[in-house]
Structure 1
Amino acid sequence: MNQALRLGVAGLGTVGASLLQLTQRHADELALRCGRPVVVTAVTARDRFRDRGVDLSAVAWYDDPISLAQSPDIDVFVELMGGADGSAADSVRAALDAGKHVVTANKALLAKHGTELARRAEQNSVSLNFEAAAAGGIPIIKTLRESLAGNRVGRVYGILNGTCNYILTRMEREGIAFDVCLAEAQRLGYAEADPTFDVDGFDTAHKLALLTAIAFGTEINADAIYVEGIRSISTADIEAADELGYRIKLLGVATRTESGIEQRVHPTMVPKSSPIARVDGVTNAVAVEADFVGRLVLSGPGAGGDATASAVMSDIADLARGDVVGTFGRPAHTLKPYQQAVMRSHAGGYYIRLAVYDRPGAFASIAKRMAENNISLESIVQRRRAPKADAPEHPQPQAPQPVMLITYETTESQVKEALDRITADGHIAEKPQMIRIEQLA
C-alpha cells in the first residue's frame, strides 16, 4: 500500500475531536477507499490536557499552529480553529507557502481572504479545500465545483443556518415569540451566548459568498451581500404567511443577472409546496438551478461535530487519492472581478406589515404612496387587535392597527421608497416590516 497521508490538525474542539475519532474508528476503511492510510501525526490546540475522548499518545503536540503548518512531518494542514484573521489566517498562509495542502472548515476566513488564499495555493501547486465551510455535511461544494462542471449555473439559494431555521420552525409550530425561541436555542446549544452572527444573517452571508464564487467564477465579495436577519419576524408574520400559503425561511440567494451578480440574505416567504419550505429544525438545504441539469436540492445536517468532520474527511480523501481541483473549480487567476447587480424584482412581490393609526386619511395616504412608486397591491388585510377585557367597546381612534399588504411584482427600490414616504407621513406607529416573496417551484 502507498505511503500514509499525514495530517496536522489545528484545533481540537467539537469538529477536531470528531475528525480524530473518525480517522481512528474508520482507519481500515479509509485506507481501502483512499488507496493509502490516512493518519493524524500532529496536532495543536489551546489546552493540551483537556480530555477529548481520543488517544493522542502517538501524536506529536505543537504549541504553535504556524510551526505545525510548516512541519516537515505533515502533508496536509487541517485548520479547524476558526476566525477570519490571527492564528487561523497566519497558519494557513504558512502551510500553503511551505507546500502543504490545506483543508479548512473556516467560512469566515475564506469569506474575507478566500481569493488571496486560492491564488497563493495555486502559486505553490497545492490545494485549498473547504467542503465543510458551507452547509456542514451537505456536499454542496463538490456538487458545484465538480459534478456540475458541464452546467452554467443561474441561481443558488438555500437555508444555510440551522439556528435561524430552528427558531423559525418553533415560532411557526408553537406560536411563540422570537425571543423565547432564541433563549431555548441557546439553552440547547443551537445558538451561541452572543447569537448576532447567526440570527443577524452574517453566518449565512459568509457561506453564500463561497457558493457564489464557485457557481459564477467570481472573486469573493462578502461585503457586497445585502444582509438582513430574523430578529424582526413576529408571530403575526408567521401566521400571515401560513394563511397565504407560505412559510418564512432565512434564505441566502445568489443570482446571475445581465448586470452582474445579485447576492442577498433575508427572511423570505416561500410556497409551502416548495422543497425548501419543508426543511425544518436545524437542517440545512441548498438548491442549484443550472441549464442542463435543471434544479437540484440537497438537504442534510448543516452543523455538528460529526457532520462537519465527515465533510472535512471528504476533502482529505480527495488529496489522498491525488484528486486536485482548483479551489473554486477553476484556476484562481481566472476568477472574474465581482460585479454587483442592482437588487431586482421578485416574482410574487412583497409582504408588508404596517401598524397604522386608525384615523381618517391614513389608508388613502398609504395607497397614494404605493401608487406614486408604481406598486400595485394584490391584497390588503386589516386586522383589528382584540380589545382588552376592561377596554371600551370600540378601540381608541389613534390606536395603531395591523395592516398587511401583498404587492404584485415590483423592485426593492420602489418598495423602500414608498415605505420611507409612508413613515415620513406619520401614519404608522413603528418601522414597517417587509418580507420578500419567492415563487420557488
Structure 2
Amino acid sequence: MTELRHRGTTESDLHSEDKRSDRESRADGEVPSDSETKLDSGVPDVPVPPDDTPEVLNKALSGLSSRWKNWWVRGILTLAMIFFFFIIIYLGPMVLMMIVLCVQIKCFHEIITIGYSVYHSYHLPWFRTLSWYFLLCVNYFFYGETVTDYFFTLVQREEPLRILSKYHRFISFALYLTGFCMFVLSLVKKHYRLQFYMFGWTHVTLLIIVTQSHLIIHNLFEGMIWFIVPISCVICNDIMAYMFGFFFGRTPLIKLSPKKTWEGFIGGFFATVVFGILLSYVMAGYRCFVCPVEFNSDSNSFTVDCEPSELFQLQDYSLPAALESLTGWATVRMYPFQIHSIALSAFASIVGPFGGFFASGFKRAFKIKDFANTIPGHGGIMDRFDCQYLMATFVNVYIASFIRGPNPTKVIQQLMALRLDQQLHIFNSLKAHLTEKGLLPANEEVA
C-alpha cells in the first residue's frame, strides 16, 4: 500500500495549516488527537484492485511473458467489447440510452469509490449518501429537460407529466437545495476542510461524468451516425495507437503515460482518419443511421425514418491538382458527412487522447493503476470511457456550430403550448413578414 498525499501543497503550507488547526483547537479548549493530526497531514491508502483475469486465460497464457500475456488479454477482451457494442447498436436507440445511463452510473461509482476510500476511514457522515443523492438530482434535471424537448406530445398528453414539465426546473432546484442543506448539517467540527474537499470531489465528478453522458444522448437524437462514428473513432484510435506503439514504439510521448509513444500517436492518427472516412461511407447509405431519432406519439416508439438530408447524399468533389496528379482522378464521389468525419476522427486522434492523459494524471495523483478492475486487462469502465466523454462534448459543440439549424418541429410544439391569443399574434406577425417578403400576396385572406 502506498501513502497518498495532497498534491500541489508544500510542506510549509501543511505545517502552517496544522499550526492554525492547533490554535483553533486550543481556543475551543480541545487538543487534537493523533488521528486528527494524521487527517490534516495526509490521506489513507487507496486499495489496489486485485488481478481478476479469468483463470482460463491465466492458464492458457501462462507460458508467455507478462508483455505478451497483457497483449492477448487486452486483445481478447477488446474483441468481446466490440461484439457487445454491435449487439447494443442492433437493439436500437432506447437500449443505447439505457446503456449510456448504466455506464454513467458505473463511472461515477468508480470515481466516488476512490473518494470514499479516503473519506470513510474518518467516520464522517453522509458522504456516500449525499454523493448518490446529488447524482439523482442532476440526472433528474438533465433527463427531465430531454423528455420535455423530445417527448413533447407525450408530455402534453399526460396530466402528471405536464405538471412535472411545467415546474421541472423549480423541482430540480428544490431537490438540489435539500442536498445542500443536508451537507451543511453534516459538517463535523475539525473536519470542515476535508468535508468541503469531498463536496468539491462529488461536484467535479458530476460535471465530468453526468453532463457529458447527457451530451452523448443528445448526439444520439441527431442520428445514430453521430453516436456511432465518434465512439468508433475513439475505439479505433485506442486500438491502433496501442498496436503501433506495441510493435514500433520507441519515442516516449508524455511523462504522464510512459507507455505512450509518438509512433503510436502518429500511427493511430492516420489509421483513425482512414477508418472514419470508410465507416462514414458505409453508414451514410442507411436511413436507420442518418435519420434523427424521433418519438412517435401514436405508436409510443422511436422512429428513424426520413428523407436523408444533403449531408447524406452522394456528391462530386473536384480534387486539388496535387492529388489529381497523384491519383489520376479529377473528381471523387463521396458523402458530405465524410468530410465532417475527418474533423471527428482528427479530434479523436489528436485531442481525444488528452482525456486519457487527464485520467492518467488523476490515477498518478492517487497512485493507483486503474479506476477499478471491472474489465480484465483494461481496468474499470472509466478507464475505457475517459476519452469518450471528451469526444461527446466536441461532437455536441460541432453539431451545434456547423450542422444543426432551427428545428421546425420543436418550434411548432412550443407554439402549440402558447395561449390562443399568443398563437394568433404570432400568426399575424408571420403573415405580415411573409407578405413583406413577397411570399404571400398582399390581398390574400386566410380562412
Smaller-chain TM-score range? under 0.3
* Structure with more helix by fraction: 2
With structure 2 as the length reference, what TM-score do the two structures score? 0.23
With structure 1 as the length reference, what TM-score do the two structures score? 0.23
Larger Rg: 2
